[in-house]
Every structure is written in structure tokens, then in C-alpha cells.
């Protein structure tokens, strides 16, 4: 009986470990230093955006892009020398790219030339 219980616990632990690895692997975050938070601000009431609008749909590294979606304005930003860009994954979904290491550094949401 004790052996079956140990096998049961081992199986549950293994399944949870696999689930955790898959979750981290499929996550848009490129590092495990914490959750990536979108840089966003509330738009004025008269600028509500139906759908998703991206001013830099090609995600050029040297352009500080932004996305307007519903009540929010989302901006590209730099963190630890890496560029994170927002984009419209669909008309209803805003996503962020994995961090890009800018060769000359990153400032104000764009890579330096």
C-alpha cells in the first residue's frame, strides 16, 4: 500500500513538473526574472479605439511603437538593454515580442543607431 502511495505521489509530482515546464516554455516572456508587464496608459474618453491599431506593424527596432486598443495605449519599452515591442496579434489581442538585445543599447522604447 505504501509503495502505491509513493508511486501516486511521484506521478502527480511528475505531471505538475511537466505542466510547469510547458507553461514556461509557451510563455511570451523571454526570461524568468518575473512577469513581463505591458507599458500602458489609459486613453482619454474621446479616444476609445475599437479594434487594435499599431503605428509600427513591422516592429522596426529603431522606432518607438505603440498600440491603441480599447481604453489603453500600449508602448514599446526598454528593460535591461532589451527592447520589448507591442503588437496587434488580432483585432482583439495585444501581445509583446520576446526581448531583443539592441547592439548599441536601448532607450525610450527603441534601439539606438
Q: Worst-scoring range by mean pLDDT, 1-10, 36-45, 73-82? A: 1-10
Task: Give the number of other Cβ atoms within 10 Å of residue 33's Cβ.
Answer: 9
pLDDT bucket at 106, cuts 50 / 70 / 90 = very high
Task: Give the pTM.
Answer: 0.63
DSSP tag of 91? S
Q: How far is it, in rounded angstroms, from Cα 77 to Cα 69?
A: 17
Residue 54's beta-bridge partner residues?
Answer: 67
* pLDDT at 77 > cutoff 60: yes
pLDDT bucket at 17, cuts 50 / 70 / 90 = low
Amino acid at each position: 500500500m505504501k509503495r502505491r502511495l509513493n508511486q501516486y505521489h511521484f506521478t502527480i509530482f511528475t505531471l505538475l513538473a511537466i505542466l510547469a515546464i510547458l507553461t514556461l516554455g509557451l510563455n511570451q516572456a523571454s526570461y524568468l526574472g518575473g512577469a513581463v508587464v505591458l507599458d500602458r496608459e489609459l486613453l482619454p474618453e474621446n479616444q476609445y479605439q475599437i479594434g487594435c491599431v499599431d503605428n509600427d506593424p513591422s516592429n522596426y527596432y529603431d522606432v518607438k511603437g505603440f498600440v491603441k486598443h480599447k481604453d489603453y495605449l500600449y508602448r514599446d519599452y526598454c528593460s535591461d538593454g532589451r527592447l520589448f515591442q507591442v503588437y496587434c496579434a488580432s483585432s482583439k489581442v495585444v501581445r509583446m515580442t520576446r526581448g531583443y538585445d539592441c547592439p548599441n543599447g536601448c532607450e525610450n522604447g527603441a534601439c539606438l543607431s
